[in-house]
């Protein structure tokens, strides 16, 4: 139970919610906006959060629905901040978005965790934000008119603003005091609702208990290619060691990571390296492999003289091992993540070194805790990115 008394206010509109916050603020009290309440209730029970008042925003129409809106001459999907994650996971929405949300917690908990609660929460993972970082989405907020910044609705009791998420998200979402996050917008021209669905059941664990099965969508006439992979210490429900989201946006390949550092972020140095190389296929080709040792695509088939190993099982001399640089016979090059690799993508080769150098050049410290060391997280990130590049560089079994 929560060990202190508080007031509960149910808001039916953004104006009511912001007015309630302003009233509490004028009394010198603290107030928190409430969506699903998962984090607020947990922290209050543990005496890590105190508030005089909670303002329930789950009945605000625009905060609890998925709508289409127009902004800047473009059409956008607007996802309400008070939407439970499963409302999106179970809907007909873009595959990468659904994959990112489906990896969070378990199904029962996702009935309570809201989109805004995950993105605005205090935990460092905030995996729901990854699609917005990739697509450079927008955030719609409502705030007391005394709050600085952004365009205003003149004469309105509150200010409604839509801004690029990059203006509000720096390691975490940072709205101004009293600013209510209403919706998160993704561009419709990037987010079709047709591509492949996330797994219905948790992926099978890897050799050391990590989840390792990828979810991805190929490039189609209707939308871009994308790749998602989540690695955890425990194959059941666990916080991520690495969450990788990759997507083709226009002529760019964008990469976002969670769990690797202390916060989710775009890997812009890596993106630039891929762009300079001319795309995923060229990036992998440029990395190269040892003569006579090219691994097959995604672990299916091989080039001449190069048997792709499965999950680190034994290899013939001169062959690429399939698993994360584990032991190989003499003269063998380590392959990638147990799924085989495209040329140069092996974790023991030039592709891995280029990926690792780019991640190091981001200038961020790798997260370290009881789930995994910084070096371990770095290696897992390299493996996941190498596999993602191989998938996105391959169409119908051929490099593009």
Q: What is the pLDDT of residues 167-199, one digit of tens each?
A: 999 998 999 999 999 999 999 887 544 444 444
Instruction: State the residue for tokens 């190989």.
Output: 328
Q: How many helices (H) and strands (E) does the chain have?
A: 12, 19
Q: What does the pLDDT read at residue 345? A: 43
Contacting residues for 180 by C-beta, under 8 A, at least 6 apart: 14, 17, 18, 21, 33, 57, 141, 142, 143
C-alpha to C-alpha distance for 377 and 367, rounded to whole angstroms: 7
Cβ contact 321:330 at 8 Å: no
Q: What is the pLDDT of residues 211-263, one digit of tens each?
A: 446 777 766 655 668 999 999 988 777 889 999 999 988 889 999 999 999 99
Average pLDDT over residues 256-282: 94
C-alpha to C-alpha distance for 343 and 303, rounded to whole angstroms: 10
Cα radius of gyration rounded to whole Å, the chain = 23
Which domains, ranges and CATH numbers included, belong to the chain? 7-56 (3.30.43), 61-187 (3.30.465.10), 203-400 (no CATH)
Neighbours of 94 (CB within 10 A): 25
At 214, list the tokens: 């990828």
| Strands across the sheet containing 7-10 | 7-10, 53-56, 31-34
SS3 sequence of 136-189: CCEEEEEEECCCCCCCCCCCCCEEEEEEEHHHHEECEECCCCCCEEEEEEEECC
Q: Model confidence at 36, in pLDDT bands (50, 70, 90)?
A: confident
Q: What does the pLDDT read at residue 189? A: 81
Q: Model confidence at 393, in pLDDT bands (50, 70, 90)?
A: confident
Q: What is the pLDDT of residues 298-356, one digit of tens each?
A: 333 333 333 333 333 333 333 333 333 333 333 333 333 333 333 344 445 778 899 99
Q: What does the pLDDT read at residue 155? A: 47
């Amino acid at each position: 139970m929560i060990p202190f008394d508080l007031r509960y206010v149910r808001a039916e509109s953004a104006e009511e919610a912001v007015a309630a916050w302003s009233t509490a603020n004028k009394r010198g009290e603290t107030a928190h906006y409430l969506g699903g309440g998962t984090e607020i209730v947990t922290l209050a029970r543990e005496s890590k959060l105190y508030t005089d008042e909670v303002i329930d925003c789950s009945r605000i129409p625009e905060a609890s629905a998925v709508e289409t809106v127009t902004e800047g001459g473009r059409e956008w999907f607007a996802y309400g901040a008070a939407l439970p994650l499963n409302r999106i996971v179970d809907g007909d929405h873009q595959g990468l978005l659904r994959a990112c949300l489906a990896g969070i917690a378990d199904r029962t908990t996702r009935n309570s965790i809201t989109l805004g609660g995950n993105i605005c929460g205090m935990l460092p993972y905030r995996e729901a934000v990854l699609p917005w970082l990739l697509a450079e989405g927008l955030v719609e907020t409502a705030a007391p008119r005394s709050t600085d910044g952004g365009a205003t609705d003149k004469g309105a009791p509150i200010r409604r603003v839509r801004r690029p998420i990059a203006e509000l998200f720096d390691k975490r979402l940072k709205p101004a005091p009293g600013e209510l996050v209403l919706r998160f917008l993704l561009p419709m021209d990037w987010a079709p609702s047709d591509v492949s669905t996330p797994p219905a059941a948790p992926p099978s664990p890897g050799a050391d208990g990590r989840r390792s099965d990828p979810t991805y969508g190929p490039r189609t006439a209707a939308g871009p290619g994308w790749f998602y992979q989540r690695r955890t210490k425990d194959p059941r429900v666990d916080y991520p060691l690495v969450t990788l989201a990759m997507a083709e946006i226009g002529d760019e390949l964008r990469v976002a990571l969670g769990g690797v550092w202390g916060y989710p972020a775009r890997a812009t140095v890596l993106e630039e390296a891929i762009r300079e190389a001319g795309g995923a296929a060229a990036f992998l080709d440029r990395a190269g492999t040892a003569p006579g040792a090219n691994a097959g695509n995604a672990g299916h088939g091989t080039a001449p003289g190069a048997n792709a190993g499965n999950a680190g099982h034994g290899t013939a001399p001169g062959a690429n091992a399939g698993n994360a640089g584990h032991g190989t016979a003499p003269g063998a090059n380590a392959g990638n993540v147990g799924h085989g690799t495209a040329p140069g993508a092996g974790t023991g080769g030039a592709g891995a070194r280029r990926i690792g150098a780019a991640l190091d050049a981001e200038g961020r410290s790798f997260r370290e805790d009881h789930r995994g060391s910084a070096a371990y997280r770095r290696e897992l990130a390299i493996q996941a990115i190498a596999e993602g590049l191989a998938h996105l560089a391959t169409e119908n079994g051929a490099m593009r």
